[in-house]
Amino acid sequence: MSGVPDSHLEAEIAEQPEVVGHLVDALQPRVGRLRSWLAGRRVTHIVLAARGSSDNVARYGQYLLAIRARLTVGLATPSVQTRYGVTPRMDGALVVGVSQSGRSPDVVGVLEAARSQGRPTVAITNALDSPLAAAADEVLHLDAGEERSVAATKTYTASLVAMAMLGLALGDEPTGTERDELAALPALMERTLNATRAGSAEALVGAATLVVTGRGLNLATAHEGALKIRELTGMRTEAFSPPDLLHGPVAAVAAGDPVLLVAPAEPSIEDQRQLAPTLRERGARLAVISGDRDLLDTADIAFALPEQPAPWLTPVTAVLPAQLVAAEMARARGLDLDRPVGLRKVTETR
C-alpha cells in the first residue's frame, strides 16, 4: 500500500520495521545478562500475564518460550486473585507481564504477587515509568515511541520481538544464526508491507463476519488479525486453531462465509493445508496469508508473503497484511482509523 499515511494508525504500521530494528539493537547486548540471571533462578515453568493485544503476544510467548526453553508455559488467570482473593504459589515460575501502557492493574497484580514470593519477574512494556515496570526485576522496554492510534500495531510487533529475545535468554545458548535471523527482521517487514497491495482487502469489505485460523506460533497472529479487524471495522471476527475449529465451531461456517488462513512458513502450515479442503467443501471463501504457492493458488483472496523470516519469527511479518487489511476495510467503511467506536487505549480491568 502506498501514499502518505493520513492517520496515526497507518503511520504507525509503516514505522514498525524501524521500531523493531531499534529494539533488536537495544536488546541484543542484554540477552547474555538475562541468561545468567535466569540460570541462577531455577525456573521450572513460565507464567505469562497480559490483556487485549498483549494477550496475543502472550499467546506467541506460550509457544515460543515452550519450544525454546523446553518448559511448560501457562497464561495467568488474574481473577483468581482479584475476584476470589487467592494468590497462587508460584514456586519455580518465571513470571512475565506484557502491557504496552504498563497500567493494566490485573497484570501488575500478578507480577507484584510473584515478586513478593521471590520469583523472577520480567515486564515487556512501552512505558518505563509504569507500575508494571516498577513491579519487574527486568524490564524489556519497547521504546516504540507514543502509540497514538487506539489500535495497537507497532507495540504489538515490538512486543513479539521482545518476547522472542526473552526466548534467547532461556534454553540453549543462542546461535549466530538466531541473532542474524533477528537482525534480518526489519528488511523483511519492510518488504512484506510493500508487497501487500492496496485494494487487496476489497473482497472482504462487504462481509458480515470473518473467521481467522492459525496454529502454534501463529495462533497469536490469527487472534491479533481478528482483533485488529474487529477493533477497526466493528466486523464480527473470530480466531481458532484448525483443530479447535474442527471440534465444533466449523458448524457455523456456511457457504459464502470468508475464512482467513494465516499460513506462513512454519510447521503449523500443515494444519492449514489439511483444513483448506474441508472449508472448500463447506463452500467457504478462502483468504490466505502465506508464501506457499499451492495455498495461494487455492485461495479466493491471496495475500502473498514475500521472503519470510525463520519459522520462530514468522508471526512478526505474517500479522502485517492483517493490519493493512484492517486499516483498508475501516477506510472503505468510512470509519475513523485512530478512534474506533467504543474503544479506549487503556482499559483498567481488575
Q: Which residues contact a second copy by CB under 8 A? A: 44-45, 47, 51-53, 55, 62-63, 66-67, 69-77, 79-80, 83-84, 86-93, 106, 208-209, 215-216, 227, 230-231, 234-238, 241-244, 246-254, 267-268, 270-271, 282, 340-343, 347, 349-350
In single-letter form, the type of residue at position 38 comes to L
Q: What is the largest CA-CA distance in the chain?
A: 56
| Minimal distance, residue 279 CB to a second copy, in Å | 10
Nearest-CA neighbor of 117 among 141, 84, 81, 83? 81
Nearest-CA neighbor of 46 among 110, 90, 77, 82? 90
Backbone conformation region of residue 55, classed left if phi is above 0, alpha if psi is from -120 to 50, else beta: alpha
In single-letter form, the type of residue at position 235 comes to M
* 76 vs 324, beta carbon nearer a second copy: 76
For β-strands 93-98 and 121-125, DSSP reports them as parallel
Backbone conformation region of residue 259, classed left if phi is above 0, alpha if psi is from -120 to 50, else beta: beta
* 198 vs 252, beta carbon nearer a second copy: 252
* 194 vs 349, beta carbon nearer a second copy: 349
Determine the Cα–Cα distance for residues 255 and 3; give it in Å rounded to an integer.
36
| Minimal distance, residue 143 CB to a second copy, in Å | 23
Q: Helix, strand or coil for residue 287?
A: strand
| Minimal distance, residue 304 CB to a second copy, in Å | 23
| Minimal distance, residue 340 CB to a second copy, in Å | 5
Return the number of other C-beta atoms located less than 10 Å from residue 310's C-beta: 17
Burial class (CB in 10 A: 0-12, 13-18, 19+), 251: exposed
| Minimal distance, residue 187 CB to a second copy, in Å | 26
* 195 vs 289, beta carbon nearer a second copy: 289
Determine the Cα–Cα distance for residues 196 and 324; give it in Å rounded to an integer.
8
* 199 vs 342, beta carbon nearer a second copy: 342
| Minimal distance, residue 282 CB to a second copy, in Å | 7
| Minimal distance, residue 44 CB to a second copy, in Å | 4
Q: Decide if 316 contacts 73 (C-beta within 8 A).
A: no
Residues 6+ apart with CB under 8 A from 147: 12, 100, 126, 153, 154, 155, 345
| Minimal distance, residue 266 CB to a second copy, in Å | 8
Determine the Cα–Cα distance for residues 188 and 350; give it in Å rounded to an integer.
38
Q: Specify the DSSP class assigned to residue 28.
A: G
Q: Decide if 91 contacts 118 (C-beta within 8 A).
A: no
| Minimal distance, residue 269 CB to a second copy, in Å | 9
* 74 vs 277, beta carbon nearer a second copy: 74
In the block, cell 502450515 appears at 269
* 72 vs 116, beta carbon nearer a second copy: 72
* 119 vs 141, beta carbon nearer a second copy: 119
| Minimal distance, residue 191 CB to a second copy, in Å | 26
* 92 vs 306, beta carbon nearer a second copy: 92
Cα angle 221, 50, 123 (rounded to 5 degrees) comes to 110
* 32 vs 267, beta carbon nearer a second copy: 267
Q: Decide if 106 contacts 78 (C-beta within 8 A).
A: yes
